[in-house]
Amino acid sequence: MANSSTKFDIRHQTTFPAIAIICVFLMYFPVALLVAYSFNAGPSIATWEGFSFAWYLSAWNNDEVIEASLRSIVIATSSATIAIIAATMAAIATTRTRNYRGLAVKYAFINTPLMVPEIVTAVALLVLVAKVKIATGYSGLGYLIAAHTAFCIPFAYLPIRAQLESMDTSLERAAADLYATPWKAFRRVTLPLLSPGILSGFMLSVVISLDDVVITEFVKSGGQDTLPTYMLGQLRRGVTPEMNAISTVFLLLSVVIVTAFFFISRNKSGTQKRE
């Protein structure tokens, strides 16, 4: 009879290594193939014809790719910044308060875009944007930034709220006891402690915005393709390793962002512990 006091550990199960290897293979092998075939000398994405940087040069010299990439970055950073500001205010308002009737409804309201199918959000934004365009005559990037912001707020809100809930409020109370105004206490105490959650929310919002296709397709005006919608249009005409090269560059960018965030958050956590 097995010892009942022995703690269950999934790592000690006989099938765990095999399952872990299969999961890692399924997640990363397609990405590895994409990266490998971005260096294919020929136009095929399935037949290797030699090593070459030709498709990277082709993407670099493609004005439409550069324009769509810059537009994606502008929309992603702008919408993530606005989403972080709104999410931070919402997180503080819903965590630094006593529990009252209706608070759970506010949580659900903020997180609704996570539960609603994206196509529903896209159609709703299409109707709203169409009415505003008719009323104002404006058809710039502001609609895409606003739409991406609305979709990114819940993704920014969750890590910020989690960071706030894990924070010790004694420092904030001490600042108030020392006659700090609410704004000064937030700027000098809460905000530095909250920075890892803000960075997480910002990074997640940027990735979500860069990746979005459905909402962008419904809201954008003519000539406002982002990189994902541009790639979707090209894939309908024919797949070339140029798409692999573009994807590889953005994969590298994502790795750089995640790595930088890891070191920044680790340094901030170490500094806070020493203090």
> In this predicted model, what pLDDT tens digit does every residue of 10-49 receive, in sequence order?
667 778 788 888 998 998 898 888 888 888 888 877 788 8
Q: Which helix H or strand E contains 20, and what residues bound it?
A: helix 16-37
Which residue reads 């006989």 in tokens?
Answer: 14
Please check whether residue 172 is in contact with residue 178, taking contact to mean a CB–CB distance below 8 angstroms.
Answer: no
Distance CA 153, CA 187 (A): 21
Sign for the CA dihedral angle at 218, 220, 221, 224 comes to negative
pLDDT of 167 reads 81
Residues of the chain with pLDDT under 70: 1-11, 264-275
φ and ψ at 177, to 5 degrees? Answer: -65, -25
Contact residues for 216 (Cβ-Cβ < 8 A; gap 6+):
144, 147, 148, 226, 228, 229
Distance CA 251, CA 231 (A): 15
pTM of the predicted model over 0.85:
no
The burial class, CB within 10 Å (0-12 / 13-18 / 19+), for 271 is exposed
Distance CA 89, CA 97 (A): 12
Helix (H, G, I), strand (E, B) or coil at 40: strand
Please check whether residue 231 is in contact with residue 174, taking contact to mean a CB–CB distance below 8 angstroms.
Answer: no
Q: What are the counts of helices (DSSP H) followed by strands (DSSP E) for the chain?
A: 12, 0
pLDDT in tens, 182-211: 888 888 888 888 888 888 889 888 888 988
Domain with CATH 1.10.3720.10 in the chain: 61-274
CATH number assigned to the domain covering 61-274: 1.10.3720.10
pLDDT of 76 reads 92
pLDDT of 145 reads 93
